[in-house]
Structure 1
Amino acid sequence: MGGGGGVGLEVELSRGAVAAILRMAEGLRPVLQVADSPRLAARAAAQRYRILLSDSVHSHEGVLAVSMNHLISDGSLRRGAVVRVLDYICTIVQGRRVIVVIQLEILRTDCTLIGDPTIYEATPTQPFCVSYSGGLGNHESCFLPGSQEVFGNLSCFSDQGMLDSSFGPRAEHTVCNLQYGGSCGSVLPLNTVDAKVQQLSLDDHHQNQRWTIKARVTVKTDLRHYQNARGTGKVFSFDLLDAKGGEIRVTCFNLQVDRYFDLIEVDKVYLISRGIVKPAHKKYYPLNSDYEIYADDSTFIEVCSDDDCSIPKQQYAFQQISEIENMENGSLVDLLGVVTLVSPSATITRKDGTGTQKRTLHLKDMSGRSVEITLRGKFCDGEGQVLQRHYDSGSSSVLAVKGGRISDFSSRFVVTISSTQLKVNPDFPDAERLRQWYLTEGKTAACISLSQEMSSFTRNHVPKTIAQIKDESLGQSGKPDVITVRATISHVNANNFCYPACTLEFNGKQCNRKVTKSNEGAWHCDRCVLDVPKCEYRYLLMCQLQDHTGVTYATAFQEAGTKIIGYSAEELFNLREQDEAKWEEIMLQVCRQEYLFKLNITEENLYGETRAKCNIVGVEKLDALATNHHLLEEMETARALV
């Protein structure tokens, strides 16, 4: 016989317990019997078993937690077994209540069916009682039936909610501090019967509180495999949004991944019960909650049969690109901007030797700033291809970025992570307003890029002529000068317009150092001290710039070179190998076009001589309309000075 008081030869079940559990009574430890052989549940996310539980008067179907599947495989839990249910929750599946058994104790395995139980279906309107006898002793507890389900708000997971909101009395659920396996977190029980709010101190500790949240999944990350000192594992997470705008993230590891990864779908509404709730790491947490949930063996997730229209599908609070300048490296940011440049997708190699796709684009908004967005993995072939088609056709795209991560390696840029969301041309009022601004004035508006090749330079810049670079000794004051110059490219060094670059990651960004080809055919990087099977060709374009005051030389790197030429360095390199005549025509056309250049000017010493070094960090082609607009602005400025 099992422990915990045991059950005599004449077993007494806890009469009325099935009805009490289905009315969501709490704190019971009833003795029940398995009235039918356990069987696998249909369409379950993991291998779950259904069992029929009886209190000798009524029976009802229950679901066994996956952590107890071994009791089925070893034959301990079978038809006729008498068990004490130590922990359970009652949830709703397709409009029906289901008992989820989280923990039980087997008392006997060899009993015949006790009593003449019937399937419990009726909803009582009078108080009902649960009778305890046998190993539990003789006593009786009465409960009033509830009238409705009440779901709390995810905003209650905030510090204020934890202090001010709770549910009671004891037969209902309460705010508490929970401790599972030595890790402590705070949870707010949300699914109650006739819930009432009362004050409860955070110092109160309760081990087995019930809570359920009803919310829509807005983000689901990819499945990620990892390795640490404890071994290998897998993880994914998803973000929830409820009817009142509350948000929280749920993270699943290993066994919970097997149970819920296929079940969770973006935009569907779910009921989630149980889990470990811990304070969130706000630096890497873009949601409006102070907490996050970790699924464990007690967690139960079920799809709602109906789509609750009161729960929105997404919400955004966009930041201006200019705000990135003052944000901490690694922070998450939501941006809305116009895509002004899209580069072709390229393959880069991680340090572990695996490859992934990377695509860069530039985003511009009304703040007078632009930033480079690096798309990785699935975004390169999804939204990245859509943006590439729009860019190649000459149309302007508005892109919403939710949950991009700020990176700061020699410059500011934003990278996508597994939980990032991208929306191309979203149906937002702010997006339409931004589009109209760009079409009317934003396309030619001066803009400072936060994603430069250099580590620092003056943010403010003014229009200058080429002659002023020398006359005013620009770049020789101990810090770079950033200016704009309206000029024509009079010559380019076509023979050495690009170089083979390393595709490995270095400090979170592609290395891009020049690589050399070894005898074995691989490419060697002196910085990474590694060989890579292939390189990526990047621009190192030497240009002679000319305006009405003089001539100077400037270097265009990858992004600026792509905008000047209209092709990536990789494409242009391959084109020269395949069709040299067309390649020559492209290079000649570059010299017939007027541009607005943004130059970063520094001082360099060459063979004992000090001179100004110009790098092209921004470029826009000027058509006749833009040139006339620029001249009108100059005339207005001159008129104001008279």
Structure 2
Amino acid sequence: MATSLTPGAVQAIQANQKPEGNNFPVVQVLGIKKIQSKNKQNSQDRYRLVLSDGAFYQQAMLGIQQNELIAAGTLAPNCVVQLKEYLCNQIHGKNIVIILNLEVVCGPLDAVVGNPQNIEQQASQVPGTAPAAMKKLTPKPEPTTASLKPVQQHTKLAAPSSSTQSKNIFPIASLNPYQNKWTIKARVTRKGPMKTWNNNKGSGNLFSVDLVDNQGGEIRATCFKETADKFIEVFEEGKVYLVSRGQIKFANSKFNPLSHDYEITLDNTSEVELCQDDGAIPTVQYNFERISNLVNGTKDQMVDVIGVISDVQDVATINTKAGKELSKRDIFVADDTNSSVKVTIWADRAEQFNSPNGTIIAIKGARLSDYGGVSLSLTAASSMEVNPDLPEAHRLRGWFDETGGTIYQSLTQQFTPGAGDSGPAPKKSFAEIKEENLSSGKPVKFTNRATITSIPDKDSSWYTSCPGKDPNDPSRNCNKKVNESNGQWVCDKCDGTFPAPKLRYILHVACADATGTAWVTLFDDVAQQLLGQPAEVINAWKSEGNSDAVLQLYKDKTFQTLNMKMLAKEEVYQGDPKVKYSVQSISPVNYATESRELIEQIRQLTG
């Protein structure tokens, strides 16, 4: 089999045109490079290609909807491809090529076809604009042929319909910051409420919508100030729109649960047009996590879960730092992994929630928290769907009807800090913990009778924390580290500005038991219980030059033997695994109780 590369293909692509007599140019892929995403969480891989027509070569970005070709090994260096759809945008004077759809013609060749030169370097040597210059420098290459290896299998994506091409509809998955003229056709799966802010940076209002297209691609669009006022009444959940123009930037995974690397900011140039419903466009896209797997997640991670409501608690009212009352409701959701988790619902949704036990509920974009062990909290961007028509829902219904949902265990109670009365943790020594396999990253809860052997005098024993409330969970303090700016303390998490921070302990002490020693961390509540003084007092003593009082306090608190509830977790530092210990609670040793336990152990050993 012999196949020719398309002469002049690279020049035509650079000019965002089709080569003469060939709407779908054939080129060789000289190289493929994976691009590291700035959005580490919920990100999709991006790839840069080097394309050659035998005379010139250029770089191009591959649309993420084509990633499956690389994952399957079909698209590889030196293979030959036919470009079905592409575009070229000029950003800061540089041509950025995006490949939206391609088909692999044959597998990797034994060598590079021709002697291709860098088209950008050649163009820079000729005065004038890039497209005009390229017309002067493009030679008439002799038709090049090569012996091609047939591809055993490949995936061919459906070409856009003629109507789609005429409207220049882009797949959401292909959107990236290098595009400035684009239109998407998408359904609004979630419309957030209008929110306002007022801080030292200014004031304004905003709202956001989540959009999904007929290929399942999802992206969030946010409107600010005048744009928010313009489009707040235009967007409606469930309806389909043509959306064009706007800024595309990296998504903040802390606030955006969608998997797209980017998000849209609509501005005064943006256009939003309501269109007829399209049955090919799905509704909400879920990426469900099994509830038992939540223990392996990270704090503040956004997750989707589906489960059966096992308990609905009454609405409670809390007071925020601003003095406003806020409603909250806790529900417990279980699935067929025999696990359940607490989900906190806020404000109007908490008051209006009326689904009984046994209801199937799907939640998108809940924030994972380590408060009370493992729990979830809904944010303004989260959504809920009751009794959805999904395969996962039907599976859970069968499980619940068969078992009654009575065999699950609550993750929210499993790792509760300081929960000494919620059930005893197993007693283990430091040596026993080190012998356990902690490589999964899952924390191990245990109790140990240990003696404090050293409390170092370090300024790093506390940190400056935010005294405000957590914006995602107003029932909790923010506690985020704050930084000083112009005499004020600024919190990046809640955007608050405060005259003074709150000092919170992160006290590291050395402990020993009968099997060995370990450095353990005591956080604020436990450290205050041990020292009997808040961090502000210790800091004041040192600021006043009374370091002797601090040293004496530390000396008085050493060589105490205490019962400690701890969490042990393995972390990797500079390639080496280390077990880190944090103390959840401390209590004095009850020698009478300890003696009875020892006697019982002796009886069991002697029979």
TM-score (norm 2): 0.45
TM-score (norm 1): 0.43
Larger gyration radius, structure 1 or structure 2: 1
